[in-house]
Amino acid sequence: MRAYGARLAAHLRPGDLLVLSGPLGAGKTTLVQGIAEGLKVRGPITSPTFVIARVHPSLRQGPPLVHVDAYRLGGDLEVDDLDLDASLEESVTVVEWGEGLVEGLADDRLEIHIDREGGDEARVVTLRGVGPRWADTPSDPLQD
């Protein structure tokens, strides 16, 4: 998942919203760690479950990474309280457990669902691009 995230980071730009879903232990945070490595942002990248959101500034003049864990959020009002839309245009924003909560933040988003298959190591990643930003993106932009 980390290597996949690093490769995915090469396709990301400021203003991108990624919404991650999948069961506990599927690899959402590990994917974000890879994205952070690819974007070259300050770490460490850990699950923001209890702090809800962390901003990781770029180490090379790229976009900052906003990493959000919406697992404990109770609804739209709590998402609004985070004021994510204030930094959305200049950041890459990744929201774990954001399905059904953050879609209203942007017309464009990349929805990423991760499932475990078979054992602890195998993962199935399903990408769904929404909006003009992702209109020409294949179901997996990392497969050439």
Band (pLDDT 50/70/90 cuts) for residue 119 is low
Q: Specify the pLDDT at position 89.
A: 86
Peptide bond before residue 48 is cis, with ω within 30 degrees of 0? no
Question: Do residues 127 and 111 touch, judged by C-beta distance below 8 A?
Answer: yes
Q: Rounded to an integer, what distance in angstroms lies between the CA atom of residue 51 and that of residue 48? A: 5
Band (pLDDT 50/70/90 cuts) for residue 70 is confident
pLDDT tens, residue by residue, 32-60: 999 999 999 998 888 766 667 788 999 99
Residue 65 is inside which H or E element, if any? strand 65-69
Q: Rounded to an integer, what distance in angstroms lies between the CA atom of residue 107 and that of residue 131? A: 6
What topology does CATH give the domain 1-132? Rossmann fold (3.40.50)
Question: Residue 116 has which token pair?
Answer: 């475990």
The torsion defined by the Cα of 48, 128, 134 and 97, in degrees rounded to 10, comes to -20
